[in-house]
Structure 1
Amino acid sequence: MAIFNIFSSLVFLLFSCIAIAVPPKFFNVVRYGAISDGTTDNSQAFLKAWKDACAYNGRSRFWIPNGKFLLRKASFEGSCNGSMAFLIKGTLVAPTDSFFTDTWIAFRYVSGLIVKGGGTLDGQGQSAWHYNDCKTNSKCKPLPVTLRFDFVRNSKVENIESINSKSSHFNIFACENMSISHVKLSAPADSPNTDGIHIGTSRNIKISKSVIGTGDDCVSMVSGSQSIEVNGVACGPGHGISIGSLGRGHEHEYVKGITVRNCTFIGSDNGVRIKTWSPSSYSLASGLVFENIIMKNTKNPVVIDQYYCPSPHCYLQGHSSSAVQIQDVTFKNIFGVSSTEVAVNLQCSKAMPCKNVKLINIDLAYDGPGRRATSLCSNVIGSSSGKLVPGGCI
């Protein structure tokens, strides 16, 4: 019996080793008819390759080799039978004759996804930005997000580049346990609504070691964002790293547990910012930490704005108070240079003052003639400690 047990154990180990040694299977889009001439529509070839890769009961590798592949709107959906890596070696090019949709490339209902490869996503946004009239047209049509993740879990995005998105570069919705690292996202400073990474209704998202320069927020976190960490991001140009805007619907999708640390802002319009609509519905933003931040000629380094309403009708109707409660916020170890005189500007709601806001070791100089940096605070309850330049705010 003992010999039989030993033999059974050896057989089990042998088959386990064989199973582990099975290599991943590659699904090369070229073998499905994709042509890398930059003009042929490869959507059907990509979708056929994805269908087979997703159905494979093992480790799938969706492979995009070197070359320039035109891809129209495509949605890659699960669930898949095994692990999936979407490997972009070449360049994916968006169409310049199809604009009014919310997505270019989407991943939905996938778990265990890896998107990487060193390749590039070219949104060709120059062809569409002039259609963005949302500042003056409340019925403006959407432009496509370059890469959208909906209901994606336990996944990674790393080592890819996105340029000239028509709208946001990455949009993350209803996702959990995702990491994004070593990505480069870029669009001109005057390109409209080209957020780098936009997150909503998601939890346990980590963004690290990336370079983002766009025409809107480098990273924006809206309603339902919880347990988000942004670490080691260089931001600029752009509108900074923002929580919000909050308070326009989504009353029960609170924002909690956001940490932004070890980030550098270079010539951006804002640094670290919290913004809520005015007027607004009730909501809550709490447990927010901004620490170890470097500002290099940033226009508005530290901002809480509870009177955010960029549309023209706001000024016709007049401002009213935001009903979003902001509490338990820490700004710590923030150093560098502000390109405007007001380096710390905390404007909280009269109806719902900010609570437990801490300023710890702030040292911001004004890069302007003859004056020092100043701070403005309104309706803020909190404390300050350590070196404070500018001081006199809380």
Structure 2
Amino acid sequence: MGIVLQLVIILVFSYYSCYGSSSLEDPLSTYYDIGDETSSVYNHAYPTYFETIGELNRDDYFPANDDPAVSNRFSDYGDELAADDDEVSSSDIGSPSSSLRVINVDNFGAYRNGDGTDATEAFEKSWKQACSTSTGAALILVPLNKRYLLKPVRFSGPCKSPITMMVYGTIEASADRDDYKKDTRHWILFQYIQNLKIEGGGTFNGKGDIWWKNSCKIDKSRPCITAPTALTFYDCQNLRVKNLRIRDSQQIHTSFEKCLDVEAINLLISAPGLSPNTDGIHVGNTRRMQIRNCVIRTGDDCISIVSGSENVHATDITCGPGHGISIGSLGAGRSEAHVSNILVDTARLTGTTNGVRIKTWQGGKGKADNIIFQNILMQNVTNPIIVNQNYCDQADPCNEQESAVHVSNVVYKNIKGTSNTAVAVKFDCSKSFPCSGVMLQDVNLVRVGGTQAAKALCKNVKFAQLGKVSPKCP
């Protein structure tokens, strides 16, 4: 369900503009209230364990793949499904449906004594059979304790019935870059599918190291080339991706593009902190998406939300290393971008190069509005709160432009922790299209070590501050 906007009267204790000392005539009068259905979740008081910032044990939040704490999150599947390619009662796996057809990839020769045989054709045949099932639902079984090598592959719909891909084992990408000549942008692509579930507690391994060392961001002498996204979901509806490990992607780990009604739940996404462009969860042109209970450690954004995305909720997120949680970038190449109704609630960021960020290019147009960041703990984070309407991620300097993506109605509530930089709050907004309707409420960010006070730099922003806010915009 999307964020419901309601007009409420807010007592504004302080209201300033960084381009004028007098109070503005259009005080912030809109704030967000979540419907009754979820109010107990989103309007709760800040958890008590966030009130004191102490040393964090990284192992508590980034356990090894074989750590029992991680394994337990996938334990609800029980034992491996029967291996027979046969119609079985769905009660065998606890499904409420009357029956389903179980299709084991091994029955098509996917696994041959673990000798590294290419399993792509076997997976394609399994998908074709599942997609053509017209009675009941279909389940594709990837068995436990086995490894399967996949070259780039597309699983396409529309299909005649709902499909579940139950991944218990490990699916590994081909490390031969020549295998990607026909499609340099995708490793595994799911497209044009309704009612798809991918779950099971297994692993997708992108074998990304061969791509990282050939990246222009690692080796400046090399030309910049496109690397594959590990898992891409394009034009899918009623999609659930749950209880999976996704590691070492060639580039982005998971990308949701032009999707509707999506759940991404209990994902453990990991890649080295210096791996280039390895975003954890990338969301574009997607509506009504829930991201819940995910641990993400990457070399780029833990979560990135770009143009066309609406009603995206991310809750219970652990992020770091990485570049934080980002809206954008938006408006590159003078394009028009729209992002609205975004909620990030209950997140823990550790050692990231940004905290919660909105980034837009000069020269773009459109808007990013109705965004809430709340109940967030920062630990040793660079740029904990940042809005940059002058984003420029290119070798040559960006020319100053008149137009900009308008950033408005953004709330930062109950954000606490430590900043690795002197500037903990930064609004670098456009002179032509200032940021407006920005609310900071109960924000407390201090310098690492506590010997110096953190600062706020606020340029071309209309804002209000409620409760205790430190550092404050001047």
| TM norm structure 2 | 0.76
Larger fraction in strand = 1
Give unpaired runs (5+ residues) of structure 2. 1-95
Root mean square deviation of aligned Cα: 1.8
Aligned mates of 1:322, 1:45 — CA distance in 2:
51
Matched with 1:387 is 468
| Alignment check: 8 A CA contact 1:38 1:93 kept | no
Deviates more, 1:125-134 or 1:346-355: 125-134
Deviates more, 1:207-216 or 1:36-45: 36-45
Matched with 1:80 is 159
Matched with 1:349 is 430
Matched with 2:195 is 112
Q: What letter corresponds to residue 110 of structure 2 in structure 1?
A: A
Matched with 2:357 is 273
1:157 aligns with 2:157: no
Q: What do the CA deviations read for 1:228-257 (whole angstroms, capped 9, x no partner)?
A: 101011000000000000012584541111
Q: 1:250 to 1:349 in 2, by over 3 A?
A: closer
Deviation at 1:392, TM superposition (A): 3.4
Matched with 1:8 is none
Q: What letter corresponds to residue 172 of structure 1 in structure 2?
A: F
Q: What letter corresponds to residue 347 of structure 2 in structure 1?
A: C
Matched with 1:133 is 216
Matched with 1:5 is none
Residue from 379, 402, 406 that aligns with 1:325: 406
Matched with 2:7 is none
Q: 1:200 to 1:381 in 2, by over 3 A?
A: same
Q: 1:322 to 1:294 in 2, by over 3 A?
A: farther
Aligned mates of 1:273, 1:291 — CA distance in 2:
13
| Alignment check: 8 A CA contact 1:160 1:182 kept | yes
Aligned mates of 1:254, 1:137 — CA distance in 2:
36
How do 1:37-76 and structure 2 match up within 5 A?
A: 37=114, 39-57=116-134, 58-66=136-144, 67-76=146-155
Deviation at 1:369, TM superposition (A): 6.3
Deviation at 1:42, TM superposition (A): 0.7
Aligned mates of 1:340, 1:134 — CA distance in 2:
24
Deviation at 1:292, TM superposition (A): 0.7
Aligned mates of 2:418, 2:161 — CA distance in 1:
50
Where 2:106 maps in the other structure, the secondary structure is helix
Q: Which structure carries more relative contact order (alpha carbon 8 Å, separation 6+)?
A: 2
Aligned mates of 1:347, 1:59 — CA distance in 2:
51
Deviation at 1:23, TM superposition (A): 2.5
Q: 1:215 to 1:290 in 2, by over 3 A?
A: same
Aligned residues: 371
Aligned mates of 1:154, 1:338 — CA distance in 2:
39
Q: What do the CA deviations read for 1:168-225 (whole angstroms, capped 9, x no partner)?
A: 0001110000000000000000000000011111100110001000000000011111
Residue from 442, 449, 458 that aligns with 1:361: 442
Aligned mates of 1:211, 1:155 — CA distance in 2:
20
Matched with 1:193 is 277
Aligned mates of 2:97, 2:429 — CA distance in 1:
59
Aligned mates of 1:33, 1:275 — CA distance in 2:
47
* Aligned-pair identity (%): 38
Aligned mates of 1:366, 1:21 — CA distance in 2:
55
Q: What letter corresponds to residue 108 of structure 2 in structure 1?
A: Y
Deviation at 1:365, TM superposition (A): 1.1
Matched with 1:261 is 345
Residue from 458, 462, 467 that aligns with 1:377: 458
Q: 1:305 to 1:21 in 2, by over 3 A?
A: closer
